[in-house]
Structure 1
Amino acid sequence: MRPYFTSRFTKSYASAPPEIQRAFDRKLALLLRNLRHPSLRAKKYDEARGIWQARVTTGWRFYFTIEADVYRLIDLMPHPK
């Protein structure tokens, strides 16, 4: 699997705090090795559109789709509480 960063994701990543960027980088490495890694807590977010959600920290999530051998990263944002 390989990542593809959408322009929306790139903007979200750039505007995220540096500690969230570092945490996301670690989580991306885990995602590329194992979608089911326990610390990701990856789950289907929108079944109809095939969007997944995974945890960066307790307060941040990232969203992606799986297209063939590509994780298409859509957004990175604070988790609505």
Structure 2
Amino acid sequence: MNEIVLTERLKGDFKSLPVTIQKKLKKQVKFLAENPKHRSLQIHRIEGTRYWEFYVDIAYRCVFRQEGDIYYLLAVGPHKIIDEFSRK
């Protein structure tokens, strides 16, 4: 199983999410730990960066960085959160 590291930023973002999205994120993080190739994650690189994203649902994304079997979850929020990381 892969190791999941929650950053302080992600923890703060999580608290501000609607409860339904919090539940969906927990489910997706479980998939990430057990099987990063799970279809519902739809993982892909944020173009031109070292960051990756996965779908929480149709409107929410989680941004992460991977080092081997360790996934650092950096932020979660509406799709526009990707813009913040595409400039880094």
Query: TM-score normalized by structure 2?
Result: 0.83
Deviation at residue 56 of structure 1 after TM alignment = 0.4
Unaligned runs of 5+ in 1: none
Deviation at residue 47 of structure 1 after TM alignment = 4.3
SS for the counterpart of 2:5 is strand
- Please give the alpha-carbon distance, in whole angstroms, between the structure 2 residues aligned to 1:47 and 1:37: 24
Deviation at residue 55 of structure 1 after TM alignment = 0.1
Letter in 1 for 2:5: Y
Moved over 4 A (4+): none
Cα RMSD for the two superposed structures: 1.1
Letter in 2 for 1:25: K
Higher strand proportion (structure 1 or 2): 1
Q: State the aligned residue count.
A: 79
Equivalences for residues 26-37 of structure 1 within 5 A: 26-37=27-38
Provide, for residues 26-72 of structure 1, a one-character-per-residue CA deviation record: whole Å limited to 9, x for no partner: 00011111111111000011443x21100001000001011132110
Query: TM-score normalized by structure 1?
Result: 0.90
The sequence identity of aligned pairs, in percent, is: 27
Letter in 2 for 1:54: F
In structure 2, the residue matched to 1:22 is: 23
- Please give the alpha-carbon distance, in whole angstroms, between the structure 2 residues aligned to 1:47 and 1:68: 20
